[in-house]
Chains A and B, each alone.
Chain A
Amino acid sequence: MKEIEKRIKPYDANFTTMVPTTFVKAMRTCVLWQIIRFIVINIKMLVVVRKSH
């Protein structure tokens, strides 16, 4: 988070964006959580694939 904050300059384009917190970033590569997300995303994608064929 600190790394990201350091790069943001007031009133630059990136000043008005939302940036992930340390927790959100950590969860993106947390293997256990991502195994759950893997199952959820696959189900969501399969539903869209089925709806499109």
Chain B
Amino acid sequence: MARVIVMGGGVSGHTAATFAKKWLGKDHEVVVVTPNARWNWIPSNIWVGVGEMTKDDVTFELAPVYHKAGIDYRQAKALGIHPEGGSTHGDKPYIVIEYTGQGKEGQKEELTYDYLINATGPKLNFAATPGLGDANGLGEFTVSVCTADHAEHANHELQKVFEKAKHSKQTVLIGTGHGMCTCQGAAFEYIFNVEHEAKKAGVRDNLDIKWISNESFLGDFGIGGLHMKRGGYAASSRLFAESLFSERGVNWTIGAAVTQVEKGKAHYEQLDGTTGVIDFDFAMLIPPFAGVGLKAIAKDGTDITDQMFAPNGFMKVDANYAAGAYENWKASDWPKTYQSTIADNVFAVGIAFAPPHPISKPMKSPSGRDIFPTPPRTGMPSGIIGKTVAHSICDKILKGKNAPLHEASMAHMGAACVASAGKGLTNGTAAALTVYPVVPDFETYPGLGRDLNYTFGEIGLAGHWIKHILHHMFLYKAKLNPGWTLIPE
């Protein structure tokens, strides 16, 4: 009997674990180690953050779902990986976990594995910018929508500002809270949902809504922007993003790193060296992401974390980490199998793998501060990568150790994304986008880097309906209800 351990029960880990169990059946063990008791459909946190949904609408208890699937669920966080074994386990690799629930809070345990998937996602690194959030993310000065709890807190603060806006002018600041943030899409959704809700609440005229981000142009989204066919042109996402910001009366400050936050004040530096302060009454600034801080230890007790993980804490996999300058980057730098560089039976999926380099062009301010988006790994690629790695591992277990690994490079994969711009059955809107491939391939598609036949976008009510249907579909799928495998990632 083989044991597969999945660290992290989020989008990619849950996908990997549930498919692995389905394919391996009762003869093999699948263990999920994750500190959260509830699964969260993160994209809908945006609607929790404006009071259109509750935490219960976007989360569900994991224990009954894993029980039904026959998955061994440990409500715990992984602390370290011992890929060569050691302790009382001989050569058998193992991980160390610390329980966060199930009545064993604080207890540590060692779990051996045959195959390990690291799907631990991001650490929300609020500490990288002084004054941004706090250790729990529920900031004193700024709020976040990255978890369902953060989003509930954000809505609580937002409603206070809406209340004040009934009598006086208020300023809302939304965007990224550091020079090297990713996830601009989430901030983009939140700002337009806030604007939409402000109109509904009758306080829009008293609300000055401002955007700040580290993108060098609006519509970069951490993927270097995209082009789509419109009116006989291949038009840049910049045109559409700027158009939407103008239409909805949102001012923007871009190419900006938030350097410090105080009560009601965000200090920033821009790519041209300009520095400034934006005063606000409410701010939702996305924190930068880092790896969750797992350690790697050799059999003799040596710390080999720097061999297994990149300096930002994400796990090194089969990517080309030596590509160098932007001009040398190639689509082929991106990982295909997600196998660890130092252990054949360890893989990293979703946000947990270390990208070879950003997608957007790196830029610095005259003072040397890095100001550019780091690469996003959105839901669809995270799910596909999780499923592909589960497939590779199951083949190795069922067909033999020499079974070839399956591949899912973000440079050969598209993404469908729906960015909400306001919720409402007849007056909601969302930007529905597809991009192919996610990582631009300038060798295959010179100039624009993407296939214009599969890269498109439009905003409208239809996009909102799709976003709403996806909310229910993905929760249905994650709960493993009948027919769940038919719903694509």
Contact = CB atoms under 8 A, between A and B. Distances in A.
Contacts of A19: 243, 246-247
Contacts of B465: 34, 38
Given A18-B239, A19-B243, A45 B434 contact: yes
A2 interface: no
Of B252, B384, B414, B436, chain A has the most CB atoms within 10 Å of the CB of B414
Nearest to A14: B246
Interface in B239-263: 239, 242-243, 245-247, 249, 251-252
Contacts of A25: 247
Given A44-B434, A45-B434, A52-B415, A7 B249 contact: yes
Contact of B380 (A18, A35, A52): A52
B371 to A, nearest CB: 18
Contact of A52 (B239, B245, B246, B414): B414
**Residues of B contacting A: mostly:** mixed
Interface in A12-50: 13-14, 16-20, 25, 27-31, 34-35, 37-38, 41-42, 44-45, 47-49
A33 to B, nearest CB: 8
Interface stretch (B58-66, B266-274, B314-322, B425-433): B425-433
How big is the A interface, by class?
20 to 34
Given A44-B456, A48-B454, A51-B414, A38 B242 contact: no
Interface string B398-429: 00000000000000011110000000001101
A24 B380 CA distance: 30
Contacts of B416: 45, 48-49
B252 A13 contact: yes
B53 interface: no
Contacts of A18: 239, 242-243
Given A18-B243, A19-B243, A52-B384, A47 B432 contact: no
B458 A7 contact: no
Contacts of A20: 243, 247
A14 B436 CA distance: 29
A34 B239 contact: no
A4 B459 CA distance: 17
Nearest to A8: B246
A4 to B, nearest CB: 5
B350 interface: no
A49 B488 contact: yes
A43 to B, nearest CB: 11
B466 interface: yes
Contacts of A47: 454
B239 A29 contact: no
Contacts of B384: 52-53
A38 B251 CA distance: 30
Interface of A: 4, 7-8, 13-14, 16-20, 25, 27-31, 34-35, 37-38, 41-42, 44-45, 47-49, 51-53
10 contacts: A17-B245, A19-B246, A29-B460, A38-B462, A38-B465, A45-B432, A45-B434, A47-B454, A52-B380, A52-B413
Given A29-B461, A41-B458, A51-B436, 5 more contacts: A17-B243, A37-B462, A48-B436, A49-B414, A52-B436
The 10 closest A-B pairs by CB, nearest first: A14-B246, A38-B462, A48-B414, A37-B462, A17-B242, A34-B461, A28-B460, A48-B434, A45-B416, A34-B462
